[in-house]
Amino acid sequence: MAGPSIELLHRVPLFAELGRRELERLSTSFKERSFGPGESVAVEGEGGAGFFVIESGEAVVRVHGDERGRLGPGDYFGDVAIIDQGDRTASIEAQSELKCYGMTFWDFRPLVESDARIAWPLLQAMAKRLRAAEAEG
C-alpha cells in the first residue's frame, strides 16, 4: 500500500522545507488509515504516539467537548505527539468517511535520527510553531 503523495506531505508545514528525496523517504513510513463518520481518531487526554495527515474527508476538533475547528484534505494533527509522545490536547472525530495517513513515533524517530536532512527542517518548523504560540499567549 502506497503512502501519501509527495504533494500532500509538502503541504504540511512541518515537512514543507524537506526536499523531494526526503519526502519520498518519509512517505514510505506512513500507513493508510480510514475512519467512518462518528468514529474517534484521537481522544483528548489519552496517549498520542501518532501523526496524521488527511487525504480526504472531514473531521471535527473538540477540546473539553467544545468544537474548536474542522479539518479537511491537507490538514494534519499529532505533530507534537509524534515528538514527545504526550497526551492528546484535543479529540478528533471523523464527520464523514475520512482517509488519513498515519505515522507512529516508532517509525518517525529512527527516520529523523538517521537523516539530518529531515531532522533540521523539522526542528526549524517546531521552533516557528513555538514562537507563534508564545506570541499568542
pLDDT at 71: 95
Domains annotated for the chain, with CATH where assigned, are: 6-136 (2.60.120.10)
- Single out the residue of 113, 60, 104 nearest to residue 78, CA to CA: 104
pLDDT greater than 60 at residue 40: yes
pLDDT at 1: 53
pLDDT tens-digit series, residues 10-24: 888 778 878 898 898
Confidence class of residue 66 from pLDDT cuts 50, 70 and 90? very high
Cα-based torsion angle of the residue sequence 12, 124, 106, 49 in order, rounded to the nearest 10 degrees: -70
Q: Which residue's C-alpha cell is 473538540?
A: 62
